[in-house]
Each structure stands twice: as C-alpha cells, then as structure tokens.
Amino acid sequence: MERNNWKRIVIKCGSALIAPEKNGCSSHYLLSIAHFILRCREKGIEVVLVSSGSVAAGAHLFAEQERTLPIKKAMAAAGQTEMIATWDKLFDFATAQILLTHADLRDRERYVSVRTTIDKLVESGILPIVNENDTITTDKLKVGDNDNLSAMVAAACDADALIICSDVDGLYDKNPHKHDDAKLLDSITHIDQSIYDMAGGAVSDVGTGGMKTKIQAAEKAVSHGIDTFIINGFTELSFNQLLAGNNPGTHFKPHAAPMNEHQHWMTHTSNAQGELVVDDDFDSALTEEGEELTGASIIEVNGQFNVGDTVLVRKDDGTKLAKAKSNYSSCLLNFIAEQPDKKFADDFQDTTGPILSVKNIAILEKQ
C-alpha cells in the first residue's frame, strides 16, 4: 500500500489504552502510539489525535460505586486533565486540547471553526488532542462514542487516513475472543449489512464503543475519500507495519468518487431536527439536477425546527430520500401543508423563494 501521499492523518485511541487498569492513566500502551506519532511527524505527516479516556482516567478519584450520570460527568472533568497531562509528557513538542460536543459539529459555522482551529494548530507544529466534552454533553448534544467522533474530525480536517485503535487486530468474520476459527478481514471495499453483522459488542468494560461503532466510523470516513484502518493498538508491531507501508489490520478502502465536503457534512454530521413527508412527485424532482425543490408535494411536517435547520425528507412509506437545509420554519411549512389548494405553495414560493434548494440537499441511498 502507498503511504507516501499521506499529508494528514487522524488516529483514535480508546479508554482501554488510556486507563487499562482502571486506576488512572497509564503510559504503558501509549508509548507505542506516541512513538508512531513522532515518526509520522518526522516524515512530514500531520497528525490529529482523538483520545477517549477522561471518564476512565478519573474514575479512581471517586468513592461512589454506582456510576450515575452526574458522577460520570464529574469523573470526566477530573480525568480530562490527567489524560491530557499523560499525553503531553510523552512528547517534546506542544499539544493542544480540543473538547467538542455534537452541537459543535452539526452547526455549520462552528464546524468550519473547528476545522480552521485544527488547521492552524497543525500548521504551527502543535498536536491537537480531541475528545468529546463529556462534562457538559446531554443526550441531544453528544456523539456518544469517539469512533464516530474521529470520523467526523477526519472529515472536518480533510485527513487522508483515519487509524482506529482496537483491542483486536481488525474486523473478523466472527468474534475472535469467542471463536478460535475467526478470520481477519484484510480489506473491505463496500460496507453493507453483512459487514455490520460481523460486529459484536464492546469487549472492553471501560470503553463506550465496540466494533459496530468502528464500522460506522469507517463508513463515514471512506465516503469522504479517507483511507480507514482498524488495527490492534495494544501492540507496537501494528504501528511499525503502518510506517513500513503494510496493512496490520483491516483496511476500509475509500470511495472512488467521494462525496463533496458539504454533502458529506449534511449526510454524516448534521442531525435532522425534523421531517418533511413528501409524495412521489417530490421523489422524482430530487433527481433533476439544477431544479429548485418546492413544497407543493409536502404531505406532512414532523418536529419543530427553524430556518436553516437540517431536516429529513422521506416518503409516506418511510423511505428516506434526503437530508436538506430548510429555508422555512416548521411552523410556516405546517401552514403551507395544511392549505387545500396546492397552488398556494407555488404562489407563496414565487414570492419568498424555495423551501429547499439543490445546493443544500444531500440525497440518501433509499432505505
């Protein structure tokens, strides 16, 4: 495999690597990763590190046995400083902390701000260390796992490769911890349900993600044209093989025709705040390039959203068609949809503009 063209990579490290003994941070497994990052930088490859572990790092500081949500948030607050300090002492160059919520990524202006900040850090020779801000996240704000966060970060910073560290060598056709005859999949060119069916639950009891979230992350990354690897992060051999140009785990190959940046953000990062249920005429209009999409075919409006929010467009039978930026609020769209005369929608839009426009639509694979 060709590595010489990598200009920027994102490497994701999980909680089991950070705090394997559940007694604070340990550099035992991190030394190999730090050495890999150093050698990449010596080769002129820019690196962004996505690191889980704040809750696991801070858990030993609390006497409570029951991990309620407030306790976990407190663990994250205390453990984050220990985790960053542990990483920082492994390098002889500057590091920077970036704490994100999903709200930072799904808002277009803040998403661009994240990308700009990462660009400036790596251009200045500083290693960005990214983590979800577990202290302030809520169900509505969280990504939930750093596998998917790493893919969003890789897309945001236009990385060439995403390397996800696991506790196994890669994706197997069955759980290698339970089946001696499990076979490692060397490379994957297409992610479908059969690939997801091979994923079991999380093996580590200190992490939040399992193989399923790693496949989800790979799906996000490869659709943006990003080489993605799941490797064993507990052995230095994995990193040596990557540097030698070999595949130490499972290589998810990028799409030959990746999504453009805005379409990828709309599809994989921006959360739909509501739904527009449309008829078959609207479905046909989606395929007509250059057409402005109107609201005459709207059957129903679900949820509450504002102008500029992302909405899911689907058919009455549940088929998902697209995600799009709405130029109208849900309140106004409900008013339009309730009018008995469909010509009202066309006349209204002639004055105020289209409900959805082509440049702000990401057409989905029908499912």
* Percent over 90 (pLDDT), the chain: 49
Q: Supply the CATH number for residue 317's domain.
A: 2.30.130.10
CB-facing half-sphere around the CA of 119: CA atoms within 13 A: 10
Give residue 208's pLDDT: 43
Range of the domain at 309: 272-363
* Segment 25-69, tens digit of pLDDT: 989 999 999 999 999 999 999 999 999 889 989 988 998 767 888
Using alpha carbons only, give the angle 301, 304, 309 rounded to the nearest 5 degrees. Answer: 95
Tokens of 188: 């994957």
* Contact (Cβ atoms closer than 8 angstroms) between residue 29 and residue 51: no
* Contact (Cβ atoms closer than 8 angstroms) between residue 324 and residue 286: no
Asked if residue 260 and residue 304 are part of one domain, the reply reads no
Q: How many domains does the chain have?
A: 2
Q: Supply the CATH number for residue 141's domain.
A: 3.40.1160.10
Asked if residue 109 and residue 230 are part of one domain, the reply reads yes
* Segment 216-242, tens digit of pLDDT: 999 999 999 999 999 999 999 999 999
Give residue 206's pLDDT: 42
333 within domain boundaries:
yes
224 within domain boundaries:
yes
- Single-letter amino acid code for the residue at 93: F
3-state helix, strand, coil in the chain (%, to 5): 35, 20, 45
Asked if residue 177 and residue 141 are part of one domain, the reply reads yes
Asked if residue 234 and residue 112 are part of one domain, the reply reads yes
* Segment 146-192, tens digit of pLDDT: 999 999 999 999 999 999 999 889 999 888 878 888 899 999 999 98
